[in-house]
Amino acid sequence: MDPKTRKIIDLFEEISRIPRCSKKEEQISRWLCHWAEQRGYSVTADATGNLVIQVPATAGREKAPVVILQGHMDMVCEKRDDSKHNFATDPIQFVTNGQWLSARDTTLGADNGIAIAMALALVDDPQVSHPPLELLFTVDEETGLTGVKEMDASLLSGRRLINLDSEDEGVFVVGCAGGRDTILRRILETDPLSDNDTLVDIAASGMKGGHSGIDIDKHRANANKVIARLLAAGMQVAPFRLVDVEGGTGRNVIPRASRAVVAIAKGKVHELLEGLQAMADSLKRAYSSTDPDLTIHLEIKEPSPKTAACICPTDTSRLVHLLLALPSGPIQMEWAFPSMVQTSVNLAMVEVDNNELVVTTSQRSSIPFELDMACFTVEAVGRLAGASVQSGKGYPPWPMDRESVLLERCTALYKELFGQDPIIQTMHAGLECGVIGNLCPGMDMISIGPTLENPHSPSERLHLPSVEKVWQLMVALMQSFKDEIG
């Protein structure tokens, strides 16, 4: 590993010892404040918890324009089903495999801990000459850009921002989708279990999941859709009543596992299991390329005090048909870039809690009108099933600025460093740049980052050689402002 990369990864590992799940960034925030105070840098925080560290320019660079380096403090905390990891107390355990860095049975948290590590490493390197810097580290990005939406814009004086939350080295992101979540709720009518009922546990797991923006175009299995398809197949062969259903862990995560429990008359159990197994085999064949580890487990269980009641037949049918009817996956592609997703929906979370069904979906689009339409579709399906619907305010898209001076500068430097042009594109995932641009008019922005695969899942991994290339670009970019005044 290159010495510079080693230093960055060492710093990233130190950061990864600190708990930082979304909405629980207090410890990483204190650590960053301590880091700044040790070096004599001013730190300012707003009421939401977003931090800005003011780093003076290298001697002789004081009149250069202020540059903002930006990332988020929180991470998606996902782990494999059999993992005992406790995100509140346990450090992330790094695993190196050739040129890739991953974590043992959990998300790695390079989204976006590597941004923090690279920004701090740049400031600490005495060989790097830089203009005045503002290090902006936001909170609660992963639950809908919640932190940056409440950011106090007066924290920032700079108008050139480098977001370090992109996940393909050599790709400059200059725009992103907007997003909005919708929650459907419906009270369910229940019936008591009878002495003639048997419970069947239906568990679907082993799917790859991933980021609901970046990975939505890969057509991976959505576990909530898989469980809905299984339940629909079961309804075709034997009448049953749902006892429970639960799947998904986050609004921006493609569900990797989902589970349902059904009650059925003892004499119909064999027919149900045959129908479920036939559909399970079909699903495994259908997703053999995208989700080769998809597993469907069927188990007969005896009723217990916790399963004294089940959902009535009418509401069981409505619930299953609701999950079948809700859209999930790419809805529309970009007309100018047919390989890129314009609009999508993620059937993110499903649960029955105290006889209430709660379904959370996440819509994304680079076109505000299409985002509205995706939300209206989800809301309409929910209302047809008798559910109440509530869509959040969401966050805006970041439209591409074709006149960006920062983009022109970065493109020229990249070609000079590596002998080839970077790829310039927009991203279907949400980036904080859209919100920052609304709060700070005139902000010139670009998003870059090292190559990261399968974020938001335990398969997340970071390409180590790409860290060095992004580092070289950052250093060259800092030095390029040397003679620029204003």
Give the DSSP per-residue string, 62-116: TTSPPEEEEEES-B---B-TT----TTTPPP-EEEETTEEEESSB---HHHHHHH
> What is the rounded distance in angstroms from the CA atom of residue 136 to the CA atom of residue 70?
5
At 485, the pLDDT band (50, 70, 90 cuts) reads: very low
CATH at 279: 3.30.70.360
Contact assessment for residue 202 and residue 260, using Cβ atoms and an 8 Å cutoff: yes
How do residues 415-447 score in pLDDT, each as one tens digit?
999 999 999 988 898 899 999 999 999 999 999
Q: Please tell me whether residues 307 and 170 are part of one structural domain.
A: no
Longest dimension (CA), the chain: 85
Question: Is residue 360 included in any domain, yes or no?
Answer: yes
- Both tokens of 240, joined, read 């049953």
Q: What residues contact residue 292 under an 8 Å CB cut-off, 6+ apart?
A: none
> What is the rounded distance in angstroms from the CA atom of residue 190 to the CA atom of residue 73?
43
Q: Please tell me whether residues 309 and 385 are part of one structural domain.
A: yes
Sign of the alpha-carbon torsion through 110, 115, 120, 122? positive
Q: Which residue has the tokens 């890969």?
A: 218
Residue 335: per-residue pLDDT: 82
Amino acid at 383: R
Contact assessment for residue 273 and residue 281, using Cβ atoms and an 8 Å cutoff: no
Question: Is residue 35 included in any domain, yes or no?
Answer: yes
Residue 339: per-residue pLDDT: 84
- Both tokens of 413, joined, read 């430097």
Q: Please tell me whether residues 223 and 342 are part of one structural domain.
A: yes
In terms of DSSP bridges, do strands 51-55 and 67-72 run parallel, antiparallel, or are they unpaired?
unpaired
Active site residue 74: yes
Q: Please tell me whether residues 323 and 374 are part of one structural domain.
A: yes
Question: Which of 391, 406, 431 is the endpoint of a domain?
Answer: 391
For residues 157-169, average pLDDT:
96
| Whether pLDDT at 380 is above 70 | yes
Sign of the alpha-carbon torsion through 156, 160, 164, 165? positive
Residue 22: per-residue pLDDT: 96
Residue 486: per-residue pLDDT: 43
> What is the rounded distance in angstroms from the CA atom of residue 147 to the CA atom of residue 375?
23
> What is the rounded distance in angstroms from the CA atom of residue 53 to the CA atom of residue 49?
13
Active-site entry in 25, 74, 78, 444: 74
> What is the rounded distance in angstroms from the CA atom of residue 148 to the CA atom of residue 395?
10
Closest CA to 460 of 451, 447, 469: 451
Closest CA to 120 of 140, 101, 138, 135: 135
Residue 26's domain comprises: 3-177+397-480
Q: Within 13 Å and on the Cβ side, how many CA atoms surround 393?
A: 6
Q: Which residue has the tokens 């036939």?
A: 278
Closest CA to 448 of 424, 420, 464: 424
Q: Please tell me whether residues 141 and 198 are part of one structural domain.
A: no
At 309, the pLDDT band (50, 70, 90 cuts) reads: confident
Q: Please tell me whether residues 404 and 387 are part of one structural domain.
A: no
Question: Is residue 288 included in any domain, yes or no?
Answer: yes
Residue 305: per-residue pLDDT: 60
Number of compact structural domains in the chain: 2
How do residues 128-139 score in pLDDT, each as one tens digit?
999 999 999 999
Q: Please tell me whether residues 382 and 406 are part of one structural domain.
A: no
At 2, the pLDDT band (50, 70, 90 cuts) reads: confident
| Whether pLDDT at 302 is above 90 | no
- Asked whether the bond before 355 is cis by omega within 30 degrees of 0, the reply is no
Q: Would you call 420 exposed, middle or buried from its count of C-beta atoms within 10 A (0-12, 13-18, 19+)?
A: exposed
Question: Is residue 381 included in any domain, yes or no?
Answer: yes
Question: Is residue 348 included in any domain, yes or no?
Answer: yes
Residue 122: per-residue pLDDT: 98
Q: Please tell me whether residues 368 and 238 are part of one structural domain.
A: yes
> What is the rounded distance in angstroms from the CA atom of residue 33 to the CA atom of residue 71?
15
Q: What angle do CA 213, 218, 221 make, to 5 degrees?
A: 95
**Residue 283 φ then ψ, to 5°:** -65, -40
Q: Is the pTM of this model over 0.85?
A: no
Q: Please tell me whether residues 101 and 243 are part of one structural domain.
A: no
Q: Please tell me whether residues 230 and 334 are part of one structural domain.
A: yes
Contact assessment for residue 22 and residue 143, using Cβ atoms and an 8 Å cutoff: yes
| Whether pLDDT at 389 is above 50 | yes
Residue 137: per-residue pLDDT: 98
Indicate the Cα dihedral angle 226, 229, 233, 236, nearest 10°. 160
At 484, the pLDDT band (50, 70, 90 cuts) reads: low
> What is the rounded distance in angstroms from the CA atom of residue 327 to the CA atom of residue 75?
27
Q: Which residues pair with 69 in a beta bridge?
A: 135, 162
| Whether pLDDT at 352 is above 90 | yes
Question: Is residue 347 included in any domain, yes or no?
Answer: yes
Question: Is residue 119 included in any domain, yes or no?
Answer: yes
Contact assessment for residue 373 and residue 384, using Cβ atoms and an 8 Å cutoff: no
Active site residue 408: no
CATH at 459: 3.40.630.10
Question: Which of 370, 391, 412 is the endpoint of a domain?
Answer: 391
Q: Is residue 105 left, alpha or beta, with left meaning phi > 0 and alpha meaning psi from -120 to 50?
A: left
**Residue 368 φ then ψ, to 5°:** -55, -40
Q: Please tell me whether residues 38 and 52 are part of one structural domain.
A: yes
SS3 56: coil
Q: Please tell me whether residues 134 and 261 are part of one structural domain.
A: no
| Whether pLDDT at 481 is above 90 | no
Question: Is residue 486 included in any domain, yes or no?
Answer: no
For residues 289-299, average pLDDT:
97
Contact assessment for residue 394 and residue 383, using Cβ atoms and an 8 Å cutoff: no
Closest CA to 232 of 114, 164, 322, 158: 322
How do residues 223-268 score in pLDDT, each as one tens digit?
999 999 999 999 999 999 999 999 999 999 999 999 999 999 999 9
Active-site entry in 25, 78, 141, 315: 141
In terms of DSSP bridges, do strands 253-254 and 210-211 run parallel, antiparallel, or are they unpaired?
antiparallel
Question: Which of 362, 391, 420 is the endpoint of a domain?
Answer: 391
Q: What residues contact residue 391 under an 8 Å CB cut-off, 6+ apart?
A: 180, 181, 182, 183, 375, 378, 379
